Structure 1
Amino acid sequence: MEEGLTVRKTIDCLIATYCIESKISLLHSDRDFDAFAKHLGLKLALNP
């Protein structure tokens, strides 16, 4: 059985969806966005 992922905050879903649809990268410090990047193709900006 494969485990699912739970997003802790609804606003994270809205932000990730906006970035994915707009094809823009997201600079973040919230681990919840890593799952969006891994499974849904959210582009992440690298922090220099």
Structure 2
Amino acid sequence: DLRPQAARQLVVQEEHLDERLRHLLDAGRNVSVHRKRKKTKEKLHLVKP
């Protein structure tokens, strides 16, 4: 019976997609956080004498 194996493969594929999506979301979040940090650093730089 090949059905359970096929189902398992589908589940594995879904998990891989989940991981990729999470990875992309994390990357996007990191970029925005990085930009924010850069801005605050520049502000701090301007504030300091």
Q: What TM-score results when the alignment is normalised by the length of structure 1?
A: 0.31
The structure with more helix, counted as a fraction of residues: 2
Q: Higher relative CO (CA 8 A, sep ≥ 6), structure 1 or 2?
A: 1
Q: What TM-score results when the alignment is normalised by the length of structure 2?
A: 0.30
